């Protein structure tokens, strides 16, 4: 593994606002199609209302296979303090703060050494206040749109464990995860 590159990626993620970050190989990522059933239960209320969410994001088996097409994942987390465990507004605000972080991480992967980058975030896409799916339009920002880890069937608690991070970071805090899956050009040439 190119350790100096991975160290630089992790440090850049921390500088951009992540609490912790780590690079793992994608063979350590656990996927489970049962996560699609959780989306279908629609507890978030966004099922069928965002191009980056199920069912529009794609077939769960195909998306889980897609994860295996990449060699590495830069996994990162944010941790935000809440007023109390019922502070739902604080949870939503904390989630919104992950979006600019996620976008700034994209720039780390614009170099020629990367091929086939896939960025997965926390929860729904979040780029637009109201997704174009709800107004009958095509996606307004396909270059920025970001599906969630769960939409690809990724078990986030196991992802945290594989990345050496805590899934829960203490009372009255909320933790969100994201991951940039990538392959290096040198991997393709090997």
Q: Is 156 in the site for ligand SF4 (CB under 6 A)?
A: no
Q: Which stretch binds ligand SF4 (CB under 6 A): 48-56, 66-74, 95-103, 178-186?
A: 48-56
Q: Is 118 in the site for ligand SF4 (CB under 6 A)?
A: no
One residue of 58, 128, 155, 166 binding ligand SF4 per CB under 6 A: 128
Q: Is 44 in the site for ligand SF4 (CB under 6 A)?
A: no
Instruction: Determine phi and psi for 63, rounding to 5 degrees.
Output: -70, -40
One residue of 140, 164, 185, 188 binding ligand SF4 per CB under 6 A: 140
Q: How far is CA 122 from the centre of its chain?
A: 5
Alpha-carbon span 74 to 105, nearest angstrom = 10
Q: Is 120 in the site for ligand SF4 (CB under 6 A)?
A: no
Q: Is 151 in the site for ligand SF4 (CB under 6 A)?
A: no
Check if the beta carbon of residue 104 is closer than 8 Å to that of residue 182.
no
Alpha-carbon span 113 to 71, nearest angstrom = 13
Check if the beta carbon of residue 101 is closer than 8 Å to that of residue 18.
yes
Beta bridge partners of 76: 21, 178
| 1 closest CA partner among 161, 65, 159, 9 | 9
Q: Which stretch binds ligand SF4 (CB under 6 A): 50-58, 66-74, 89-97, 106-114?
A: 50-58
Minimum distance, C-beta of residue 121 to ligand SF4, in the bound complex (Å):
11
- Which residues are at the interface with ligand SF4 (CB under 6 A)? 50-52, 125, 127-128, 131-133, 139-141, 144-145
């Amino acid at each position: 593994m190119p350790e100096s590159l991975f160290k630089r990626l992790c440090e850049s993620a921390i500088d951009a606002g992540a609490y912790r970050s780590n690079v793992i190989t994608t063979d350590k990522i656990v996927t489970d199609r049962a996560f699609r059933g959780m989306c279908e239960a629609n507890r978030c209320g966004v099922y069928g209302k965002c191009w980056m969410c199920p069912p529009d994001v794609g077939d769960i088996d195909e998306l889980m296979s897609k994860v295996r097409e990449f060699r590495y994942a830069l996994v990162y987390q944010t941790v935000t303090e809440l007023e109390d465990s019922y502070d739902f507004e604080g949870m939503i605000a904390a989630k919104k703060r992950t979006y600019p972080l996620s976008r700034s991480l994209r720039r780390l992967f614009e170099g020629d050494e990367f091929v086939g980058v896939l960025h997965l975030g926390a929860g729904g896409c979040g780029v637009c206040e109201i997704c174009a799916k709800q107004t009958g339009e095509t996606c307004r920002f396909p270059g920025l749109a970001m599906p969630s880890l769960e939409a690809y069937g990724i078990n986030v608690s196991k992802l945290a464990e594989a990345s050496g991070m805590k899934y829960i970071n203490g009372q009255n805090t909320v933790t969100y995860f994201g991951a940039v899956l990538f392959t290096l050009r040198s991997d393709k040439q090997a």
